[in-house]
Amino acid sequence: MEFEIISVVGLGYIGLPTAAAFAARRKQVIGVDVNQHAVDTINKGAIHIVEPELDMLVHAAVTQGYLRATTVPEPADAFLIAVPTPFADGFRPDLSYIEAASRAVAPVLKKGDLVVLESTSPVGATEQMAAWMAEVRPDLSFPQQAGEDSDIRIAHCPERVLPGHVIRELVENDRVIGGMTPRCSELARELYQSFVRGECILTDARTAEMCKLTENSFRDVNIAFANELSVICDELDINVWQLIRLANRHPRVSILQPGPGVGGHCIAVDPWFIVDSAPEQARLIRTARTVNDDKPRYVIDRVERAAKRFRDPVIACLGLAFKANIDDLRESPALEIARALAERFAGQVVAVEPNIRKLPESLEGTVRLCELNEALAEADVVVILVDHAQFKRVDPVRLQAKVVIDTRGLLSHG
């Protein structure tokens, strides 16, 4: 099937790169987002997020006429829904963004269209998306009603990219595609093969949903081991970074690096979707989430003990993003730590985050955003929360007269 027009709903950290990837293959792409600022920025050939190489791709796509953005869905041949899936109170999945996108897209669907849910979702979300669309469009048939003979094809294809490397990984990584029927899967594979060089592997929708949750839960469990190990090593006066390097010399051991917690919209959120679906069975996954969620409090306690050495300590938080060299603050443990310290040490906390221009609302008025050199000159306590490239270049001599709490191992060479 020829997909002449592709609509990408949700122009964030996944949707916009995906739209640009299709446009780079000379596909006509309509990007849809409720954020008017994002739409206006993209239509000027610029971007509203930080991701290496994305600015060049978007500028070329818009300039050449292959990509434009709008706030209202328009008819297309294929629709990719890439909206947020946060959790609500009690760590329950919040599908309100998917529902809103589904109901917004449904009026412009026509017979033969393909709809792919890319948002990381709890098991059953793709079927629920199809049900919402069917409510709006009783004149069309969907896979849950007509199977292979349905008017609309529905599939799930979760993203599996690393922030900071999204453009390369979108193209090179394998994709798991799960349709509500085999034909749905095959059509979705045809769509993605227009730009994906990795293998497109077919399965059913529920398995595809669970696959993404499994991948991120695997990472979360292994990070929890490293984070728990770092706390134990602090108690036993052992350099955890050196310990991990030594242990990883074993041919069958590969311990990950500890940090101040776990952030981002994926690893810090997705395991809860499994816990919510099978609360009695997901014991290890739940425990890993607890370990990683507790790590920021442990770091805060260490900072508070260090600050007691000074009458009016200035505390510098190096990094607010959830990982290195990006501007994404979603579920960031660094942000959580900075917020807690600002409450405890009012007017004494400065933050360095080279990838943002202004502080998020949660820190405005309580934390001062400043340049790295200024922060190092003022600080009594330096808390390294993110291993941004700029921080790796700091001369250790500049930190000798300060108390340094290094949650990323930047200063460990033992």
Mean pLDDT of the chain: 96
User: Taking residues 138-163, what's their average pLDDT?
Assistant: 96
pLDDT for 412 equals: 82
Please, which pLDDT band fits residue 87 given cuts at 50, 70 and 90?
confident
Active site residues: 212, 266
Which range among 64-68, 88-92, 297-301, 311-315 shows the weakest confidence by mean pLDDT?
A: 88-92
Provide the pLDDT for residue 1: 77
Is pLDDT of 414 > 70? no
How many other C-beta atoms lie within 10 A of the C-beta of residue 244? 21
Helix axes 270-277, 205-236, angle to 10 degrees: 110
Q: How do residues 318-334 score in pLDDT, each as one tens digit?
A: 999 999 998 989 899 99
Task: With a cut of 50, say whether residue 45 has pLDDT above it.
Answer: yes
- pLDDT confidence band for 413 (50 / 70 / 90): low
Q: DSSP labels for 197-245?
A: -S-EEEEEHHHHHHHHHHHHHHHHHHHHHHHHHHHHHHHHT--HHHHHH
Q: Considering the chain, what percentage of its residues have pLDDT values greater than 70?
A: 100
pTM: 0.90
Position 374 pLDDT exceeds 80: yes
CA 281 to chain centre: 26
Among the listed residues 44, 20, 41, 40, the one whose alpha carbon sits nearest the alpha carbon of residue 30: 20
Region of residue 53 (phi > 0: left; psi between -120 and 50: alpha; otherwise: beta) = left
> How far apart, in Å, are the Cα atoms of 64 and each of 36, 39, 45, 77, 199?
22, 17, 10, 21, 29
Q: Which of 119, 383, 73, 374 is nearest to 270 (CA)?
A: 119
Position 265 confidence tier, pLDDT thresholds 50, 70, 90: confident
Q: Average pLDDT, stretch 301-307?
A: 97
**For residue 386, what are the CA distances in angstroms to 215, 234, 366, 389?**
23, 19, 20, 9
Confidence bin at 90 (pLDDT 50/70/90): confident
Domain 5-198 grouped into CATH 3.40.50.720: yes
Indicate whether 149 pLDDT > 50: yes
Res. 240: pLDDT tops 60 = yes
Give the mean model confidence (pLDDT) for residues 264-289.
94
Please tell me the predicted confidence (pLDDT) of residue 186.
Answer: 98
Q: Where in the chain is the domain with CATH 3.40.50.720?
A: 5-198, 250-406
- Residue 256's pLDDT is 97
Domain 250-406, CATH class in plain words: alpha beta
Q: How far apart are CA 133 and CA 81, in angstroms?
A: 13
User: In this structure, are strands 92-93 and 87-88 parallel, antiparallel, or unpaired?
Assistant: antiparallel
Distance of alpha carbon 227 from alpha carbon 256, whole angstroms:
9
